[in-house]
Structure 1
Amino acid sequence: MWTVPNLISFVRLLGVPLFLYLFLSLRADVAAIVVLAVGGTTDWVDGWVARRLRQVSRLGELLDPFADRLYILATLLAFTARQVVPWQFTVALLGREVLLLGALAVLRRHGYGPPPVHYVGKTATFLLLAAFPILLLAATVPAAAGVATAIGWGLAWWGLALYWVAGFFYVVQAGQLVRVRRGEGAR
């Protein structure tokens, strides 16, 4: 359980309340940018370390996507509260999460756990975790606003599109698993 990659994921989880405190309570935006950037970077690092040290674990396979989702949701809600992103963008991302919660509930009812993470979902997560600190930079540093806004929103919109594509893949995967299980029950 206490492997190096799992420890990295636990530290990432601790970054979520730290980010929220810095961003919403202290309004220490530069420090919040650093926490977001470190959180996004360590998303890649924990997987790389796990493969490199051969410390891939079931806990890590569950913890990493949980930390990703928590970072994305917490950042999104905080950004919406401070008007860094419009509520429509937040609703679009949250809608995908609701869809996946429904698919996960169906999978659990049929005896399955969450489906394995798809590379499209990993790419979407990477794009969103890269977009958030850049969007915050655009909102807090006027000199960087022009370039940071273009880059940040480019990454965010691509991330959103791929997030939904990955969500579609997960729903299709869930449907296939349920059909297989129903086919086994019919025998």
Structure 2
Amino acid sequence: MVTPSYDTERFWTIPNVLSILRLLGVPVFLWLILALHADLWAVVVLALAGLTDWLDGQIARRFHQISRAGQLLDPAADRLYILATLIALMMRGAIPMWLLVVLVARDVVIAGLVPLLRTRGYSSLPVHFVGKAATFCLLYSFPLILLGHLTEGGWTVARILGWALAIWGTVLYWWAGLLYCYQTWRMVTSTPARSQLRSTGPTEGTDR
């Protein structure tokens, strides 16, 4: 069975610490934007989230710190951040309901693939470049959209650029989702189910 490649079994790596910091920033952001209405500080937290998302990937690849835990932690942190930010911005009136529905629907589709993957011995799919590009666009769109929402007139450049990134990010997010669906279909049709593996023994080309 082919599994995502990784360099280390260690949990405490710099990329994983950055992902954890991104997760810890979620309640801080929600507190700032919903409780305090400290929008400028909320923008700073969002910008730092986007920066850490870029940095952890760069550091992991350059210094060979791709870990098994990181392959699960990084996308989980990204999805939680995106969901929390969407809900908060919708509650503040910065984004419409349809954007939240479209992006959450994609994650629901991906979550539905997990039971199929587990029947073939997989716990998750490797992160695709298109998925990372989508996350990058979305994470960078949110602080710009919020900046454009700060004043009555809005910051025109920030608002336009933020929505351009949000729309591109949404398209790429669904494109990546369809690619994951295709990958799952390929795995399901080409890999024996776990019950078959237990009854017939190990099959050539698998590692479980």
Query: In which range does the TM-score fall when normalised by the shorter chain?
Result: over 0.9
1:119-155 per-residue CA deviation (whole Å, 9 max, x = no partner) reads: 0001000000010000000001456522111111111
Within-5 A mapping of 1:11-160 = 11-142=21-152, 144-160=154-170
C-alpha displacement of 1:182: 4.0
C-alpha displacement of 1:25: 0.8
2:50 is matched by which residue type in structure 1? G
2:122 is matched by which residue type in structure 1? Y
1:152 is matched by which residue type in structure 2? G
Of 47-56 and 162-171, more deviation after overlay is shown by 47-56
Contact 2:134 2:169 in 1 (8 A): yes
1:1-45 per-residue CA deviation (whole Å, 9 max, x = no partner) reads: 111111111111111111011011111000000000000111010
In the alignment, the residues of structure 1 paired with residue 193 and residue 37 of structure 2 have an alpha-carbon distance, to the nearest angstrom, of 55
In the alignment, the residues of structure 1 paired with residue 63 and residue 156 of structure 2 have an alpha-carbon distance, to the nearest angstrom, of 41
Give the % identical residues.
Answer: 50
In the alignment, the residues of structure 1 paired with residue 42 and residue 162 of structure 2 have an alpha-carbon distance, to the nearest angstrom, of 16
Any gaps of 5 or more consecutive residues in structure 2? 1-10, 201-208
In the alignment, the residues of structure 2 paired with residue 157 and residue 98 of structure 1 have an alpha-carbon distance, to the nearest angstrom, of 19
> Between Structure 1 and Structure 2, how many residues are aligned?
187
Contact 2:120 2:193 in 1 (8 A): no
In the alignment, the residues of structure 2 paired with residue 50 and residue 108 of structure 1 have an alpha-carbon distance, to the nearest angstrom, of 26
In the alignment, the residues of structure 1 paired with residue 62 and residue 158 of structure 2 have an alpha-carbon distance, to the nearest angstrom, of 33
In the alignment, the residues of structure 2 paired with residue 161 and residue 86 of structure 1 have an alpha-carbon distance, to the nearest angstrom, of 16
- Larger radius of gyration between Structure 1 and Structure 2: 2
With normalisation by structure 2, the TM-score equals: 0.85
C-alpha displacement of 1:96: 0.2
In the alignment, the residues of structure 1 paired with residue 86 and residue 188 of structure 2 have an alpha-carbon distance, to the nearest angstrom, of 32
Of 143-152 and 112-121, more deviation after overlay is shown by 143-152
- Runs ≥4 residues deviating over 3 A: 141-144, 182-187
Give the helix-richer structure, 1 or 2: 1
Contact 2:117 2:124 in 1 (8 A): yes
Partner of 1:172: 182
In the alignment, the residues of structure 2 paired with residue 101 and residue 112 of structure 1 have an alpha-carbon distance, to the nearest angstrom, of 13
